[in-house]
Amino acid sequence: MNDVSVNGTWLSTLNILLVSRDIPALPDTEENTVKIAGRDGVKNFGSTYAARPLGLGLFVMGDDYDGTVAKLASVFNIRRGPLIIIFDDRPDKRYIAEYRGSMAFDSSTGNRLINVPLKMDDPWPESQQDTELREYGQGLSFGEGYFYISDSSFSITTSGQMVTLDNIGSERTYPLMRISGAFADLSISDGRQTFTFSGSIGANDVLEINSDPDKCTVKLNGTNAWSRSNGMFFELPPGQTALTVSATAPAFTLEIIYRYKYVF
């Protein structure tokens, strides 16, 4: 561990060395409770995780100290929004974080050791690549972690067909389901809940069901089609999930696109 990438820029290229990092094994918990008048104690509605802090210890090298610190400030400028952080010894994971707090300069090193505080609003690191199937010849390089043979893309030709997903992460995730091709009156069930879409679509149509809690959209060829659905969305827990896909005259490809999320 001696390098970190921020939005694609490895800090070593700026004469900055990563000397330490602070990533808690788990985020802090937050209790969700309600105090009821006349009743001892509280009503507990379970606990959730807070944002996860992430700290970087960086050492400024080279003779141009002021110039290097200026570049460092530009890299972590809050106006850039959330930053994609990748460590050289964890190349398969990325951390989405923003600069929070203030940089601390260690005067004992001539201010060359700088501690940068970050915070992950979504506390879970995730896989660098998602499960979307790529094709050879798209300008991608071997070893970048893309999926050329995907266990998340399925040809659906029979009503009642079952497909199995394998979320190898350690935390639940919320997929984008992309359906390319023809069917009428679709239903997809994981055994606990069922998504339905009424009517028919053609061979050149694309239906996308985005289960991201911040989005929760149903779009047909990019246009809102929520009214044709029952508004049910899926989450994928760690491990295998079996989906049963039913429709009239199905002739489509079902692709489940998501990133693996990790507790640590």
Whether the CB-CB separation of 188 and 160 falls below 8 Å is answered with no
The pLDDT of residue 148? 44
More confident of the two residues 254 and 2? 254
The pLDDT of residue 202? 98
**What DSSP state is assigned to residue 261?**
B
pLDDT digits (tens, 9 = 90+) for 91-106: 999 999 999 999 999 9
Element (H, E) at 29: strand 29-34
Q: Stretch 146-171: mean pLDDT, rounded?
A: 86
CA dist., res. 19 & res. 1, Å (int): 8
pLDDT higher than 60, residue 137: no
Query: Global pTM?
Result: 0.88
pLDDT digits (tens, 9 = 90+) for 39-74: 999 999 999 999 999 999 999 999 999 999 999 999
The pLDDT of residue 215? 95
Whether the CB-CB separation of 195 and 261 falls below 8 Å is answered with no
Q: Stretch 175-203: mean pLDDT, rounded?
A: 98
Question: Which residue reads 């390089």 in tokens?
Answer: 141
**What DSSP state is assigned to residue 203?**
T
Q: Which residues contact 106 (CB under 8 A, 6 or more apart)?
A: 112, 113, 114, 115
What is the band of 151 on the pLDDT scale with cuts at 50, 70, 90? Answer: confident
CA dist., res. 126 & res. 115, Å (int): 24
Q: Which residues contact 102 (CB under 8 A, 6 or more apart)?
A: 117
